[in-house]
Structure 1
Amino acid sequence: MSLKLTYYCPFDETTKIIRVPRETDNLYLQLHDSNDKLVNPSKIFKFSKCKTSEPSVHRSIHQYNDFNCFYKAKDIWEFDNIGVSKPPPNIKNAEFIKVKSIENGEVRNYAIVRYLVCGHCDKGAFGFGGYLLDSEQRENHVEIGFDLSTVNPNDLTYFFYY
């Protein structure tokens, strides 16, 4: 049995959001789209940090404190109390994010289809649900006007801002 750290909504401080293993291989760093450099979180996306059950331990990977670090959930059901935003109407309106696995260096591109918010107070965002796209797929989907609202939420990959 692995030890898990419980994260709570920072706005009401009582709603459990997710329990994340302290040692995990599902951690990803955000990359800048143009030259693959790591990016300070304040320059791209604005995610809210959740509170933990142990206030002195907010982030276990201290060497990445200046970067957007995400925990890749197994699926949406790993969260305790999460809500999601509406999807963008089409791929041209979507935001894109590139993330790199800390464990194996694998780089993936996602269209952000849903932002994750507290299921109780609807504030956030605490992460995102992404639709995996490589560069060629992205160009093809833009050309045909791919409708992101038709993507099944069970087919998304969910990332929690860690």
Structure 2
Amino acid sequence: MTDSAFWITEPTSEVVQGAGAGGNGLIWVGHGSATIATGVNYGPVRVTVDARSQEPSLDLEDWEEVVEVSIHFETDEADLESMGGAIEEEPQEMPLSAAGPGWYRLRVHARGRDEGAEAIDIDIDADPVEEYLIQSWPTPQAPEIRHKTTDTHGAEVRART
């Protein structure tokens, strides 16, 4: 992971430019892509992907930020990418759009971003201080939902213009 973000992309995607200011402070959606803001500028993060056929139950208890957005995928090949860094135990394929082309919901959970933002440099081999859970399921487009927004880093990102 680098540049305070990692991405969900598919082969036909256009990565969101200028993400990292305003909005919900966690995820920005573009055409077949989404940018997820991290606290750490450079270093490892732990990411778990949970692809479902229908909406999973909502769990807010152990997370500092939880935001849900709609995204349209044109393929069944959406996966995670980082630029020059590492997503711990990066899977070869992420099943985010496994049900095929169409509209999906992404529910992104985050914790540890405040600790990540305070760290100057995190060794690439160190244990991640930030953790993310990305749930996806096919469903019609719907408005963004900010289920929980409690970390300081997210508040600072939301305040940027």
TM-score, normalised to structure 1, is 0.30
Higher relative contact order (Cα pairs below 8 Å, separated by 6+ residues): 2
Structure number with bigger Rg: 1
More helix by share: 1
